[in-house]
Amino acid sequence: MSMNRILETKEVNFRYSGSQSDALRNLTLRVPEGKKTAICGHNGSGKSTLFLHAIGIHSPSSGQVLWRNAPVSYGRKELKQLRQDIGVVFQDPEQQIILNTPYEDVTYGLRNASVPEPEIQRRTEAILRTMRLEHLAHTPIHHLSLGQKKRVAIAGVLVLEPDLLLLDEPTAYLDRVSERELVEELERIHRRGITLVMATHDMNLAYSWADWILVMDKGQCVMEGTPGDVFADEAAIKVLGLERPMLLDLWEALPEASRQGREAPRNVEDFKTLLQKVFA
Ligand SMILES: Nc1ncnc2c1ncn2[C@@H]1O[C@H](COP(=O)(O)OP(=O)(O)OP(=O)(O)O)[C@@H](O)[C@H]1O
């Protein structure tokens, strides 16, 4: 895969103050521009810490973070720009939503960025439509479901039109329907040319959603590649204690002859089509 990297870390080390161990250890990784990247790894492998480095909330004790091939500068003006270029949606939407209603919350970032009032109104209405929140625009946040709150948090970040969107466990605790809706929304966002990165524990989702996978373990990036390549390394996946995508298990349960010359399907629809062909 051609690798125009939008974000990169080079041998980044970082330890939280008071902690006994490094949260990031010689972390070297690349995020390809224009793609959908899933970052997989256990609790505590450093995914959130990486996101905090991407927007300069933390800075490495050694090593470098690069944005569009240039080292991140930590001056006030540069950081403000960086945080417009990179949007982060944190795991807990409660932490991210500041104001009382979706409408007010989404306008907040635009006011901060000194966008003129008529444009604020136009952009807010547009993003609420995109995230299918218009009917809830003036509903108090505490009346919304978790899935709706997550969509508000994403809307608040998207409205600033970032080039790169980092999502920390966006589907955690969502039911299947909300998860599917969120994934569809991400698809639309991606088609607008935004590079997406999702940290997730859900290997089934990573396998079917991502076109590039990074696996983190103990503050390091230990695997990178296409979903097919990464999950083909069964031994490594097992050692890392990660789950194997169900579709891959099912695929391998098919008779050899029906797999020959075919690629393993990455989603249920493709799998159904394959089964219909095989058993026709
Ligand atoms: N504020 C903090 N102070 C001290 N240690 C921290 C802090 N935040 C995270 N850590 C530690 O840093 C390491 C990396 O944590 P991080 O939250 O980045 O992992 P993660 O992969 O995002 O985990 P999760 O999947 O649970 O979100 C862990 O060992 C964690 O205990």
Q: Which single residue is written with the structure tokens 């891959």? A: 248
Q: What is the pLDDT of residue 143?
A: 95
Q: Which residue has the tokens 């508000």?
A: 152
Going from the C-alpha of 143 to that of each of 1, 54, 133, 180, 247, the distances in angstroms are: 44, 32, 13, 22, 37
Give the confidence band of 97 by pLDDT, cuts at 50, 70, 90. confident
pLDDT of residue 25 exceeding 90, the answer is yes
| Beta sheet of 24-32, edge-to-edge order | 24-32, 5-14, 62-67, 70-71
Return the pLDDT at 208: 94
Gap from CA of 23 to ligand 1 centroid (Å): 7
Tell me what pLDDT residue 191 has. Answer: 94
At residue 84, the 3 state secondary structure works out as helix
Judged on CB neighbours under 10 Å (0-12, 13-18, 19+), 113 is middle
The residue whose CA is least distant from atom 5 of ligand 1 is 16
- Per-residue pLDDT band for 92 (boundaries 50, 70, 90) equals confident
pLDDT attached to residue 112 = 86
pLDDT above 90: residue 94:
no
Please identify, by atom number, the ligand 1 atom nearest to the C-alpha of residue 44: 19
Instruction: Return the best residue to mutate from 15, 24, 45, 61 for the ligand 1 pocket (most ligand atoms within 8 A of CB).
Output: 45
The predicted structure's pLDDT at residue 164: 98
Mean pLDDT of 10-22: 96
Q: What is the mean pLDDT of residues 244-272?
A: 91
What atom of ligand 1 comes closest to residue 51's alpha carbon? 18
- Give distance in angstroms: CA of 44 to centre of ligand 1: 5
If you average pLDDT over every residue of the chain, what do you get?
93
Which pLDDT score is estimated for 1? 52
Q: Report which ligand 1 atom has the smallest distance to the Cα of 52.
A: 18
**What confidence category does residue 77 fall into, taking pLDDT thresholds of 50, 70 and 90?**
very high
Ligand 1 pocket at CB < 6 A: 16, 19, 23, 41, 43-49
Ligand 1: nearest atom to the Cα of 49 = 18
Task: Please state the rounded mean pLDDT for residues 183-187.
Answer: 90
Distances (CA, A) of 205 to 139, 149, 180, 236, 241: 31, 21, 10, 19, 17
Closest residue (by CA) to atom 25 of ligand 1?
43
Mean pLDDT of 119-137: 92
Evaluate if residue 154 carries a pLDDT over 80. Answer: yes
The mean per-residue pLDDT over the stretch 116-134 comes to: 92
Q: What is the pLDDT of residue 67?
A: 98
Q: pLDDT over 90 for what percent of the chain?
A: 76
- Confidence tier at 211 by pLDDT (50, 70, 90): very high
Measured from the Cα of 50, ligand 1's closest atom is: 18
Which among 42, 43, 240 is the best mutation to test ligand 1's pocket, defined by most ligand atoms within 8 Å of the CB?
A: 43
Count the Cβ atoms, other than its own, within 10 Å of residue 41: 25
pTM of the predicted protein model: 0.92
Query: Rounded distance, CA 209 to CA 196, Å?
Result: 11
Decide which of 151 and 164 is more confident.
164
Q: Which residue has the higher pLDDT, 192 or 280?
A: 192
Q: Which residues pair with 30 in a beta bridge?
A: 8
pLDDT bin (cut points 50, 70, 90) of residue 2 is low
